[in-house]
């Protein structure tokens, strides 16, 4: 199961105004665009914004911005998406972020948030340089209790496993660890342990070396 494939099973994307919040390099913005959505990609990291502007199709509007202060007008979006980005928003800023999601959505709007669980072979390796156990746990707790927020109703929750190919430990380092300065610094102290953990965790599946990241997708409608 992949993020956009699942999202398409819940709502047709053709012609929708969709914002991808915490878009990173825009992997999913690109897929939303390919599915016919009118996409705005919002990212807080200026370097990622520049890369996304260079690499993504011109039909995607890439903007520097934060979940808690979206550079979008009132009611301008049909769908707000966050793929693995909610737990990166500081906990103190999350209430403001949900205010923003509601502000930019129209009355028939949808909010789609996918969060990784703090377990799985991918997590087992990455936690050695960045342990997200607490922030991921808090995100799932928040999303599981959104009925306390009168503005959003849970329409669908689906758990699935994201499987990604990492042909070697060196490839994993280049993609996941070294581009992030904080992770790269921590890596120096755990290098042998990390290589060992990777080699134990990686699975040979259908001719590919893969790691698995279980996650849950929460799909909300706007109620108030």
Ligand X SMILES: C[S@@+](CC[C@H](N)C(=O)[O-])C[C@H]1O[C@@H](n2cnc3c(N)ncnc32)[C@H](O)[C@@H]1O
Under the rule (CB under 6 A), what is the footprint of ligand X?
A: 21-24, 27-28, 42-45, 48, 66-68, 83-85, 88-89
Nearer to ligand X, 147 or 165 (CB): 165
- Cα 154 to Cα 124: distance, rounded to the nearest angstrom: 30
Q: How far is the CB of 96 from ligand X (least distance, A)?
A: 10
State the minimum distance, in angstroms, from the CB of residue 212 to ligand X: 16
Q: Which is nearer to ligand X, 55 or 223 (CB)?
A: 55
Minimum distance between the CB of residue 194 and ligand X, rounded to whole angstroms?
Answer: 19
Give the nearest distance from C-beta 173 to ligand X in angstroms. Answer: 17
Confirm if 158 and 6 have CB atoms less than 8 A apart: yes
Q: Least Å distance between CB 42 and ligand X?
A: 6
Q: Which is nearer to ligand X, 83 or 98 (CB)?
A: 83
Return the residue nearest ligand X (CB atom): 24
Question: What distance separates the 2 farthest-apart alpha carbons in the chain?
Answer: 53
**How many other CB atoms sit within 10 Å of the CB of residue 138?**
15
In the three-class reduction of DSSP (H, G, I as helix; E, B as strand; rest coil), residue 18 is classed as strand
DSSP 8-state class, residue 71: S
H/E stretch holding 216 reads strand 208-222
Q: Measured from the CB atom, is 29 or 197 closer to ligand X?
A: 29
Q: To the nearest whole angstrom, how small is the minimum distance from the Cβ of residue 192 to ligand X?
A: 26
CB 185 within 8 A of CB 142: no
Q: With respect to ligand X, which residue has the nearer C-beta, 67 or 210?
A: 67
Question: What distance in Å separates the CA atoms of residue 158 and residue 2, rounded to the nearest whole number?
Answer: 11
Contact status, residue 159 vs residue 143, Cβ threshold 8 Å: no
DSSP per-residue letters across 95-139: HHHHHHHHHHEEEEEEEEEEEE-S-SHHHHHHTTT---HHHHHHH
Minimum Å distance from CB 68 to ligand X?
Answer: 6
Q: Is the dihedral of CA 172, 183, 138, 69 positive or negative?
A: negative
Q: Given the complex with ligand X, which of 131 and 147 has the nearer CB atom? A: 131
Nearer to ligand X, 24 or 120 (CB): 24
């Amino acid at each position: 199961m992949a993020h956009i494939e699942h999202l398409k099973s819940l709502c047709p994307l053709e012609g929708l105004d969709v914002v991808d919040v915490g878009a990173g390099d825009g992997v999913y913005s690109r897929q939303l665009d390919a599915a016919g959505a009118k996409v705005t990609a919002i990212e807080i990291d200026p370097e990622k914004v520049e890369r996304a502007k260079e690499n993504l199709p011109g039909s995607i509007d890439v903007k520097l911005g934060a979940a808690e202060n979206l550079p979008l007008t009132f009611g301008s979006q049909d769908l707000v998406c966050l793929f693995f980005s909610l737990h990166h928003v500081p906990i103190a800023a999350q209430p403001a972020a949900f205010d923003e999601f509601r502000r930019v959505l129209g009355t028939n709007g949808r909010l789609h948030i996918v969060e990784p669980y703090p377990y799985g072979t991918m997590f087992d390796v990455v936690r050695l340089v960045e342990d997200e156990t607490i922030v991921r746990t808090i995100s799932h707790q928040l999303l599981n209790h959104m009925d306390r927020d009168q503005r959003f109703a849970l329409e669908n929750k689906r758990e699935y496993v994201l499987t990604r190919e990492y042909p070697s430990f060196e490839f994993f380092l280049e993609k996941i660890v070294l581009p992030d300065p904080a992770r790269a610094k921590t890596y120096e102290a755990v290098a042998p342990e990390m290589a060992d953990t990777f080699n134990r965790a990686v699975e040979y599946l259908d001719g590919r070396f893969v790691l698995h990241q279980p996650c849950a997708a929460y799909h909300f409608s706007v109620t108030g």
